[in-house]
Structure 1
């Protein structure tokens, strides 16, 4: 805490670090503790009782939040033929084939998400060392490898978020903005909670959710009652 600023320390005093709060109260507390001059993101962190070294416990997916994420994402679509026009009509920011992949090889990465048709994955795979570490490689589990590029682009623009368990069993995902109505943030939280709960691996014994925390970009974390 020594390197935290005065405003953060004042905000942290509003939160009882030993207490878990009902989600409605947690959201209200996040807003009360928000002090930044910009519209902070609201993030959800879940620590799960899983071992991601096992394939069946690598929880990953994507979902369109009912009230959006509040973040505008630039979408790059790698496709050919009819899918190119579909992607453009759906509002993709960049659309193309091998010429865009060549640009990526040279360091162009001015987008947030890549959607690709299955027949283009062979070419994209050649630059996996560039895309992989940045989390940009398309994946069927998140709906970014598909022939239905129109739906994929529309979903991302509506507020689709990806969730993925890290090597320590944590999932960190965007669930909205501080400016959202409390009820909308609660609904987004419940949607994410439900989808992760349904993904519980059969191999997990005992408690699945170890702890859940919500926070704003700059503010302190608030523990949520499970």
Structure 2
């Protein structure tokens, strides 16, 4: 209770203004600490109409410092591609047998990758994987012939993102224990990738607002001028 009270008192210092990125990170780091590893999450408000199909924003990018979270990977592949997936570090590789495990929810993997010719086996899983945001998709690089690279990217800290119904992208971009520079570089990489994926039908300012928070911390709005992307 004492630590909780100290954190609450500390976070009452939050000001209603935009913080420079380094200042925001240091503010979160200086808070009374927890006895577990806290994540750093971002929320990016985009200038899109999420109700329009041509303004969907969905992709993936590899963060320079990784996410700080181990990633389990399942792969649908056969023959040489199955061997390549195994060599690259996939936790499980299969076809119908893997599909059955996922149907029965015997296994829960962070990332699911599939080769194009295995989609006949994967497609029936859409109702199970879709709501979890894990359905393989070419836009996120999880439907690919190059399963080796896809597995390595996932293991190295690649994140998949998608704008929600409010046009906001949420994502984990590291741990509070990362250096300020690592957190900043990860954020800049995400923003850079978002810019590359701006829908042509989206007019005006695209990245409208950025906020960061730690697991137990408040949301801090960031001054975009303190970032390079």
Q: Same fold (TM over 0.5)?
A: yes
Once residues 141 and 33 of structure 1 are traced to their aligned partners in structure 2, the CA distance between those partners, rounded to angstroms, is 38
2:79 equivalent among 67, 78, 81? 81
1:174-197 CA distance string (max 9 Å, x none) = 111111111111111111111112
Q: Judge conservation of contact 1:34–1:219 (CA < 8 Å) in 2.
A: no
Aligned position for 2:55: 57
Q: Judge conservation of contact 2:102–2:108 (CA < 8 Å) in 1.
A: no
Ranges in structure 2 where 5+ consecutive residues have no aligned partner: 225-229
Further displaced range: 21-30 or 169-178? 21-30
The 1:20–1:88 alpha-carbon spacing in structure 2 relative to 1, beyond 3 Å, is same
Q: How does 1:16-95 map to 2 (within 5 A)?
A: 16=15, 18-33=16-31, 35-95=33-93
1:108 CA displacement: 2.0
Q: Judge conservation of contact 1:77–1:95 (CA < 8 Å) in 2.
A: yes
Once residues 31 and 87 of structure 2 are traced to their aligned partners in structure 1, the CA distance between those partners, rounded to angstroms, is 41
TM-score by structure 1 length? 0.93
Q: Does 1:224 align with 2:225?
A: no
Once residues 5 and 120 of structure 2 are traced to their aligned partners in structure 1, the CA distance between those partners, rounded to angstroms, is 51
The 1:7–1:162 alpha-carbon spacing in structure 2 relative to 1, beyond 3 Å, is farther
Once residues 37 and 58 of structure 1 are traced to their aligned partners in structure 2, the CA distance between those partners, rounded to angstroms, is 39
Once residues 128 and 134 of structure 2 are traced to their aligned partners in structure 1, the CA distance between those partners, rounded to angstroms, is 9
Aligned position for 1:13: 12
1:142-196 CA distance string (max 9 Å, x none) = 1110111100000011100011100111100111111111111111111111111
Once residues 162 and 11 of structure 1 are traced to their aligned partners in structure 2, the CA distance between those partners, rounded to angstroms, is 33
TM-score by structure 2 length? 0.91
1:40-95 CA distance string (max 9 Å, x none) = 11011111121112222111110010111111010001111111111110011111
Counterpart of 2:87 in 1: which secondary structure?
A: helix
Counterpart of 1:218 in 2: which secondary structure?
A: coil
Q: Does 1:98 align with 2:114?
A: no
User: How many corresponding residue pairs?
Assistant: 221
Q: How does 1:176-215 map to 2 (within 5 A)?
A: 176-215=174-213
